[in-house]
């Protein structure tokens, strides 16, 4: 048992992930929820416990974003802010949490685009890094889509030679709300609406939350000099013309030779399958399939964020690449004992 102060956490965005975090923190001795920021008038001013489906009130009411969030940062000690506020790109996400960083608060965001900005948007990475260092805080992205690469790299420990690596991330998204799937993935849109959105994103690369950072990360780690990456986005469409799944394929080449292949499938899978298949072509040949329960994507998103709290508090100040932060392991004890 520790007598240290509880870790003070606030949440930005009270949707599916945010509510799960509220329920989780409600049961913990070591974490104290001290604030929740949202934009929805139906949530502002109401108790976050009741809004999150708890039987009890938490005593914390929802703070209005923009108009009141600064007051919260100024009047309340917050060690970590968790940002899980809907679909956005890395730049927009940063703008939503900039004030928190400037108030000396560490931030973890669920935004998929905030994975390795040092590769995808070095200018933005550098801007965030300067602010973090000035205020002595740490910022990174975390979620179910940012944990696979570490497992792939770990699996090469026993390899003598490697020719190429490929994986398929097959994610059933039934556990997310319809709104979250539509806004974040385009699932639920008509094919025409999806194509329109894709075209808009192509003309504005800031809108893309692609997994392209992942190819570079694996290439760098394995010593492949990736000089070309080809990407293709395809859709699964039902008989009524509605998109119920997307597949992003990325292939990394070294002098014309395929070295890395990644398939990221997000789908309302009728069989609710959720798995990762990793293949390492080399000596020895490795083929591994990890099957998860269907709630994995949603569960792992809030779980990795929760498991990252000691890491964001302990790591050096700055903007950090999600793929190179330490493994944010599950820890069953009191987080204050490992800070
Ligand atoms: N990294 C990963 O692997 C991973 C995996 C899954 C999800 N995610 C991300 O996690 C985030 C949360 O997912 P979710 O399923 O919880 O989404 P959700 O159910 O749609 O919830 C998002 C919430 O954020 C609120 N919001 C949106 N913009 C806001 C703003 N400017 N200020 C305050 N609140 C705002 C929304 O409010 P309204 O009700 O007013 O719209 C909604 O309550 C999404 O960004 C998603 O892309 C990441």
Least Cα distance to 181 among 232, 240, 269, 244 occurs for 244
Spell out which residues line ligand 1, taking CB within 6 angstroms.
13-18, 37-40, 65, 84-87, 96, 110-112, 143-146, 176-177, 179-180, 184, 301
CATH code of residue 105: 3.40.50.720
The residue segments making up the domain with residue 52 are 7-142+308-338
- Same domain? 229 vs 280: yes
- Same domain? 291 vs 164: yes
pLDDT band, very low/low/confident/very high, at 204 (cuts 50, 70, 90): low
Establish if 303 belongs to a structural domain: no
Q: What is the pLDDT of residues 174-196, one digit of tens each?
A: 998 999 899 889 999 999 999 99
- The pLDDT of residue 155 is 95
Establish if 201 belongs to a structural domain: yes
- The pLDDT of residue 206 is 43
Q: What is the pLDDT of residues 221-274, one digit of tens each?
A: 999 999 999 999 999 999 999 999 999 999 999 999 999 999 999 999 999 999
Q: How many domains, in total, are found in the chain?
A: 2
Contact 216, 119 (CB under 8 A): yes
Establish if 47 belongs to a structural domain: yes
Establish if 176 belongs to a structural domain: yes
- Same domain? 155 vs 135: no
- Same domain? 108 vs 230: no
- Same domain? 153 vs 287: yes
Rounded to the nearest integer, the mean pLDDT of the chain is 93
Q: How far does the centroid of ligand 1 lie from the alpha carbon of residue 85, in Å? A: 4
Q: Which two tokens stand for residue 251?
A: 């292939």
Establish if 161 belongs to a structural domain: yes
Contact 273, 170 (CB under 8 A): yes
Q: How far does the centroid of ligand 1 lie from the alpha carbon of residue 177, in Å? A: 10
Establish if 97 belongs to a structural domain: yes
- Same domain? 41 vs 88: yes
Establish if 202 belongs to a structural domain: yes
Measured on CA atoms in the order 308, 312, 314, 315, is the torsion positive or negative?
A: positive
Establish if 320 belongs to a structural domain: yes
**Atom 39 of ligand 1: nearest residue by CA position:** 40
Q: Would the pLDDT of 78 be above 60?
A: yes
Nearest 5°: CA angle at 37, between 35 and 38?
145
Pairing outcome for strands 243-254 and 228-237: antiparallel
Q: What is the pLDDT of residues 277-321, one digit of tens each?
A: 999 999 999 999 999 998 888 899 999 999 999 999 999 999 999
Residues of the chain with pLDDT > 90: what percent? 84
């Amino acid at each position: 048992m520790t007598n240290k102060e509880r870790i003070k956490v606030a949440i930005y965005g009270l949707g599916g992930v945010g509510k799960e975090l509220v329920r989780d923190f409600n049961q913990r001795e070591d974490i104290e929820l001290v604030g929740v920021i949202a934009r929805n008038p139906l949530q502002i001013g109401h108790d976050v416990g009741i809004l999150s489906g708890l039987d009890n009130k938490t005593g914390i009411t929802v703070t209005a974003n923009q108009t009141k969030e600064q007051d919260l940062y100024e009047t309340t000690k917050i060690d970590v802010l968790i940002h899980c506020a809907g679909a956005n790109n890395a730049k927009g996400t940063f703008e939503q949490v900039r004030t928190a960083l400037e108030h000396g608060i560490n931030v973890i965001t669920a935004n998929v685009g905030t994975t390795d900005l040092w590769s995808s948007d070095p200018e933005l990475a550098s801007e965030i890094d300067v602010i973090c260092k000035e205020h002595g805080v740490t910022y990174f992205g975390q979620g179910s889509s940012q944990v696979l690469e570490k497992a792939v790299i770990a699996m090469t420990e026993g390899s003598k030679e490697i020719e190429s690596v490929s994986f398929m991330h097959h994610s059933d998204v039934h556990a997310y709300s319809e709104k979250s799937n539509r806004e974040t993935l385009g699932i639920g849109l008509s094919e025409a609406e999806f194509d329109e959105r894709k075209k808009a994103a192509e003309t504005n690369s800031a809108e893309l939350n692609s997994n392209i950072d992942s190819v570079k990360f694996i290439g760098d780690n394995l010593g492949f000099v990736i000089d070309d990456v080809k990407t293709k986005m395809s859709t699964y469409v039902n008989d009524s013309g509605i998109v119920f799944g997307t597949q992003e394929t990325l292939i990394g080449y070294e002098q014309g030779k395929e070295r890395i292949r990644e398939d990221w499938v997000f789908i309302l899978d009728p069989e609710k399958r959720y798995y990762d298949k990793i293949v390492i072509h080399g000596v020895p040949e490795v083929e591994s399939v990890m099957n998860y329960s269907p709630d994995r994507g949603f569960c792992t998103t809030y779980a990795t964020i929760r498991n990252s709290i000691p890491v964001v508090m302990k790591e050096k100040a700055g903007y950090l690449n999600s793929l190179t932060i330490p493994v944010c392991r599950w820890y069953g004890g009191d987080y204050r004992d490992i800070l």
